[in-house]
Amino acid sequence: MNVSSRHDKPFVATSQPEFDGVDLQALASRLGTPLYAYSANAIRQRIDGLKTALDGLDATICYAVKANSNRAILQLMGEAGLGADIVSAGELRRALDAGIPAARIVFSGVGKTEDEIDTALAAGIARFNVESLDELHAIERVAAVRQVMANAAVRINPDVDALTHAKISTGRAENKFGVSIAEARRWFAERSQLKHVRLDGLHVHIGSQILDLDPFRLALHRVAAFWRELAAAGHPLASIDVGGGLGVRYRAGQDQPIDATDYVQVIREALAGFDGRLLLEPGRYLVAEAGILLTRVLRIKEGTERRFLVLDAAMNDLLRPSLYDAWHDIVPVSPEPRPTATYDVVGPVCETGDTFARGRALPECAPGDLLAIQGAGAYGMSMASTYNSRPLAAEVLLDGGRYAVVRRRQTFEEMVAGEQPAQDWQAP
């Protein structure tokens, strides 16, 4: 009896034997799994597509470092002329080390410390996206000590529903991000009291993995109305930062991402007549679909109710499915057609939440099979941990048939470096 007659189900032929011209079986045999692989060409294509869409506008793309902060990725962004959107001193240092000029770096986030503000001022970053009055005063204080002028934009919370997962929605009034237009209005009215902060920009970022243009349009129209009001009141703006949030395709045949040209058209329409600089902070859009997580099947476990496909990757490597119930397509690397089977795809971590997919139809798998978890280039490795004492995975950059290891697999010693027995007891 051959395999096909045993299974009265369609064959699944979708597979990914190669990525950016690199044979994935050979790569995984050489470097081991779990392994993150990123396509340089796929990233360049996204950058070029967005740049083309922005043609004719005075716009700077500030890549959101948090999406994928590997140094090689940042270097690629820097070489393409991009700036960076950072949210910590660590990200600042990564961006600078990768060659992204400070003049193209913007600093967002609700919890900037005075030390971080000072470090950013010393580096000479372009602008702070300010999220509270307390932070505005902190920047004023730190810049006064340094005797410098800090450039600042108010992050507006436009109270718009981004129609995405609640945990990655940031533009509702109930969210911790930004300030209301009413509050921002007061900041500008009292702007002359700021001696070391040049408050001349607006910023808005309503959320992530947005697949609908309407929330962007609504948020930008609210920001645009405020910009016009400010201009009329004698507060011209140097820049408007439209944030990130462009969604990507995690589920083939289901997710319908927004086209970059359509997205930029919304910006063009909403901000028509604005003669300052536009800043964009895409993260996911540039890198998500340019990355896969290669993982091997450890075993198949027949549970009493479900069939489990146990992988050597886990929630510590890719947290998105556990944290947001996010869907990631999973495909075999080998191209032979196989009958379909249904699995709960899980990792070895001791949590029921360590599940990549439930009831997923996949080509029938056997121990040792290599799989590619797709759409893993953004918020994959950058959110990885060593939970369950699993060392961090390796990362590799692919470029037209070649590969370069851009993070070697963490060793046990590296994982525990810094820990020590409690011996030098001291009083604080």
Angle, alpha carbons 164-349-340 (nearest 5°): 70
Q: Tell me the closest approach of the beta carbon of residue 216 to ligand LLP, in angstroms.
A: 11
Dist CA 368 CA 378 (whole Å):
26
Active-site pick, 1, 182, 272, 350 = 350
Q: Which residues ranging from 224 to 263 are in contact with ligand LLP (CB under 6 A)?
A: 243-246
**Range 410-417 contact pairs with CB under 8 angstroms and sequence separation of 24 or more:** 410/386, 415/386, 415/389, 415/391
SS3 assignment, position 112: coil
Shortest distance (Å) from residue 284 CB to ligand LLP: 4
Q: If binding is defined by CB under 6 A, does position 205 make contact with ligand LLP?
A: yes
Q: Is 360 exposed, middle or buried (0-12, 13-18, 19+ CB in 10 A)?
A: middle
Taking the complex as a whole, how short is the minimal distance between the CB of residue 204 and ligand LLP, in angstroms?
A: 9
By CB under 6 A, the count of residues binding ligand LLP is 20
Active site residue 365: no
Closer residue to ligand LLP (CB): 280 or 370 = 280
Report, in Å, the least distance between residue 234 CB and ligand LLP. Answer: 28
Determine, following the binding rule CB under 6 A, whether residue 197 of this chain makes contact with ligand LLP.
no
Q: Where are the beta strands (DSSP E) in 214-349?
A: 239-241, 277-280, 291-302, 307-311, 330-332, 338-346
Footprint on residues 24-83 left by ligand LLP (CB under 6 A): 64, 67
Phi, psi of 369 (to 5 degrees): -65, 145
Give which of 238, 237, 165, 239 is closest to 206, Cα–Cα: 165
**How far apart are CB 286 and ligand LLP at their closest, in Å?**
8
Options 20-28, 133-141, 186-194, 278-286: segment touching ligand LLP (CB under 6 A)? 278-286
By CB under 6 A, is residue 281 in contact with ligand LLP?
A: yes
Among 284, 296, 338, 390, binds ligand LLP (CB under 6 A): 284
Within residues 166-195, the interface with ligand LLP by CB under 6 A covers: 168
Does position 320 bind ligand LLP by CB under 6 A? yes
Q: For residues 264 and 151, what is the distance between their CA atoms, to the nearest angstrom?
A: 25
3-state class percentages of the chain: helix first, strand second, coil last, to nearest 5:
35, 25, 40
Q: Which is nearer to ligand LLP, 112 or 320 (CB)?
A: 320
Which residues, including other chains, have CB under 8 Å from residue 99's CB and lie 6 or more apart? 74, 75, 78, 79
| From 78, 215, 283, 375, residue interacting with ligand LLP (rule: CB under 6 A) | 283
Q: Does the protein bind ligand LLP through residue 375 (CB under 6 A)? A: no
Could you give the angle at which helices 181-189 and 133-146 cross, rounded to 10 degrees?
30
Residue 157 near ligand LLP by CB under 6 A: no
Q: How far is CA 372 from the centre of its chain?
A: 19
| Residue numbers annotated as active site | 350
Which residues would be at the binding site for ligand LLP (CB under 6 A)? 64, 67, 85, 108, 168, 205, 208-209, 243-246, 281-285, 320, 324, 379
